[in-house]
Copies of this chain bind each other. A is one copy, B any other.
C-alpha cells in the first residue's frame, strides 16, 4: 500500500461539495491535531492514514488529540489515499425478521462482534427485508464503504456471491459455498454437519428406533444437504425406502410445526424425529404434545444447534447436536481480518493461515430421546 505522507489533498476535485458540516463549523485542522499531540504535521497525517511506520506511543498521542479535537479527515480524500475503512459488512442472507427471531444468528453475530470490536473494526450489518434488496446490498458493497464482508446463510439462488466476486471484495462465507472449482473455492468457516447428523442417526438406532422421520432445512443450502447426507450414512436407502418420512422444513419453529403435522398424518407409526434445527424441533415437540404423544416414550426427538434458548428450554430438554456457533462467528471474523491484513499490509498473522475451517459437531444427549 502506498501511504502519502501528507493530506493536503493536492488532487481533490475543486468541484467537490464540502464534507458534511465542514464549512459551517470551523472544523479542526490536522495542524491543530499535530500541535496538540506535539508531533509534526507529517507524523500526524501518517497516523490519521493508518499509522504505518509510526511508533505505537506516538500513534496513541495523535489519536488522543484527534479524539479531543473531534478532528475528521476529508472522507473522500482519506478513502482515495488509504482505501481502508476499518469496517466489515455482515450479510445474513435471510429477511431481517428471521435474523432477529433465530438465536443462531444472534450467537454468530456475537462471536463476530467480539472479534471485530477487539480489532477496532466496525461491524456493519446490512439488513434485508425481502429478496429484492440484494441488488441494494450489492450496490452498498460496490460503493466501497467496507474493507470486506462476512456472508452467511446463503441460499443457492442468491446473487451476492457473483456480485462480490466481480468486485474483488474480500469475503469469508459462513457455511461451505457450493460453487468454485477445486483450488478456487472461496474462504469459509463451516461445521461438520455430516458428522453431526450421522451421530444423531446412530444415537436413535442405539435407542432402538426404527421408523425415524427427518425434517430437513431448506435443501438449497449446503448445511441442510450435508445433514441429510450424514443421516444417509446410517440409512443409505433413505428416503427412497420410505418417502413419507422426509419433509423439507425452513429452520423456523412454525415450519417445524407444519412438518411434524404432515409427518404424523402420513406416518402415524413413526417412533423418532430428527429435526435439523432446534427451532424446528421445538415446533415438532408442540405438535407431539397436542396429539398426546409422549416424548421420548412414543416418539424420540433430536434437534440440531444446541441453541441457548430453544434446546435448553424445551420440554423435555432436547437431545441435539452441538456446534459452537459463537466460535464459528469469531473464526469467520478472524479469517477475514487476516485476509485484510494481507491485502493492506502484506503480512498476515503468521499463526493463522488463510485456509477454510470446519469446526467439530458433538451429540448432546438430554431427555427427549
Contact = CB atoms under 8 A, between A and B. Distances in A.
Contacts of A322: none
A138 to B, nearest CB: 9
Interface stretch (A125-133, A225-233, A292-300, A345-353): A125-133
Given A15-B2, A142-B72, A114 B129 contact: yes
A266 interface: no
B125 A113 contact: no
What class of interface size applies to chain A in its complex with B?
Answer: 35 or more
Interface string A112-137: 01101100111111111110110111
Q: Is the interface of A mostly helix, strand, loop or mixed?
A: mixed
Nearest to A10: B13
A117 B110 CA distance: 25
Q: How many copies does the complex hold?
A: 2
Interface string A1-37: 1101000001111111101111011010000000000
A360 interface: no
Interface in A70-93: 70, 72, 75-76, 78-81, 83, 85-87
A126 B124 CA distance: 5
Given A72-B142, A97-B110, A167-B20, A80 B123 contact: no
Interface in A313-343: none
B144 A19 contact: yes
A301 B140 CA distance: 46
A17 B143 CA distance: 15
B145 A16 contact: no
A86 B145 contact: no
B113 A106 contact: no
A126 B117 contact: no
Given A20-B168, A67-B135, A124 B140 contact: yes
A310 interface: no
A156 interface: no
A96 interface: yes
A359 interface: no
A122 B137 contact: yes
A96 B109 contact: yes
A179 interface: no
Contacts of A10: 13
A101 interface: yes
16 contacts: A2-B15, A11-B15, A17-B83, A20-B144, A20-B167, A24-B168, A25-B168, A67-B135, A70-B163, A76-B76, A79-B143, A100-B100, A113-B129, A120-B136, A125-B125, A125-B127
Please list the 3 inter-chain residue pairs (A to B) with the smallest Cβ-Cβ separation, ordered nearest first: A21-B168, A11-B13, A75-B144
Given A11-B16, A12-B13, A100-B109, 12 more contacts: A11-B15, A15-B81, A19-B144, A21-B166, A24-B168, A25-B166, A25-B168, A79-B143, A122-B133, A124-B125, A124-B145, A125-B125
